[in-house]
Structure 1
């Protein structure tokens, strides 16, 4: 039996014999156990979002609140500019998704399809940038953006995405290389140029990897904290993660942890919903497999 084939029902499990059956059972026990362990912090946060602040850190932990404080979610919007911070995050995320996806896709297409002596050298140079820690370039980048007068604007958080991202370029290049070159050659014979091949042939076949890169970009910039912390000082421009961090300072060191937990859970909803609805595209993109039907 193929061990990678999922078991869809207990009836199907009962049909297995001997070693295969026990291996499948052990595999699912391990997966369920790991899932439960990783879900504990999320469950504690959800529980805390419905408690009074004094009840959250009691020992031993009480998972079910003595009194459900649903008003924590109401106070999140009345006492905390949640909508403004979420809107700011949406602006940053939207432009990064558009610019990173388009620029990375164009560069990946060039590496995958154009042949020239420096192709491999330039590609390895792009990959080498992934080895440079972000902290190494942090100060030079800040000085450069400060000299340009971009500090306390969204430009330092958006403009770099116009030049692509090394990891995304790598993923897209590998995916494009699985698409047969015969399609390009047929299109050339029919009179298409490189741009038409990119937009009308390669792009439709690359929808899974394009969506995958878009989701990765969304998650990174939606949860980005360091960049906004360095470049933004105006509270009206704070994205959601920096806004959550500033909640303690705004309340003079007396934090309403119930409301903070409620805001944290609300901030988790967009990336979780995005992953849930587009999971099949993520899996197809990660497999780096292109298929052509015709």
Structure 2
């Protein structure tokens, strides 16, 4: 009986330790967002006071109104959102086609080619940023949105990997039955594989949209001020006549900036988790 009690006690300790780690991690991740939201309701003078006051004396909701009066926020957000949707759709189509080809077609050299694609995951994006800029500058495509569009058409190594892993788990019998019924490869891909890949599609589209919505470096390099995206606009727009940052208004802008991503993740988290898990079950 003693060993049973010890085993039960050890199991409970392990479970409580796991919950404790999860709670601590959640607090660490949520605290910056919480303080950003609270500080966005302060005055600039109150924001810099010491000792630090967590909550404002009087909430300054005017900070949020200033975000829309000091910048064409809706216009820039719409521009960024439309580009994000276009990139998400294009990269999903191109990556799913490549992933399907790697998963279902067995041709000489396909494994090596896939290894080359996967090896691109270890190349930091910052390394190819300057060569890309030189290329697009010579093609006279700077100050346009073509760098994002062409990049999406080329697909993403990580998204290709996700689709490939998911399609490899797909039952071969369904594909063979469709071939017997006279379906071609594209019809099999579009009408059988893609409808069953909704979790991966949702994951890829959300990640791709987030990549455009949260992008700062590419808009800063490629676009002029009148065409820039939301990340750059939020970082540079809120300054007083002397050139100093209006910190609390900037924080209010950042709250609005991240809110759509939080809402999207809240409603799509099941699909995201399912997509990540199911795309990694088989090598």
Shorter-normalised TM range? over 0.9
Partner of 1:8: none
Of 274, 278, 281, the match for 1:288: 278
8 Å Cα contact 2:163-2:279 kept in structure 1: no
Alignment length (residue pairs): 275
Alignment pair present for 1:267 and 2:267: no
Matches within 5 A, 1:59-70: 59-70=50-61
Counterparts of 2:85 and 2:125, CA distance in 1? 22
**Distance in 2 of aligned mates of 1:64 and 1:196:** 58
Unpaired stretches in structure 2, ≥5 consecutive residues:
1-6
- TM-score, length-scaled by structure 2: 0.92
Q: Is the contact made by 1:89 and 1:240 (CA closer than 8 Å) also made in structure 2?
A: yes
Is residue 125 of structure 2 the alignment partner of residue 134 of structure 1?
Answer: yes
Cα contact 1:179–1:290 (8 A) shared by 2: no
More deviation, 246-255/162-171: 246-255
TM-superposed deviation, 1:57: 2.6
**What corresponds to 1:33 in structure 2?**
24
Equivalent residue for 2:194? 203
Q: Does the 8 Å contact 2:239/2:246 carry over to 1?
A: no
Alignment of structure 1 residues 110-259 onto 2, 5 Å: 110-233=101-224, 235-248=225-238, 251-259=241-249
Structure 1 unmatched ranges of 5 or more = 1-15
Q: Label 1:88 to 1:26 Cα distance change in 2 as closer, same or farther (>3 A).
A: same
Q: CA RMSD, aligned part only?
A: 1.8
**Segment drifting more, 25-34 vs 198-207:** 25-34
> In terms of mean alpha carbon deviation, does 184-193 or 80-89 score higher?
80-89
Do 1:176 and 1:290's aligned partners in 2 also have CA atoms closer than 8 Å?
A: no
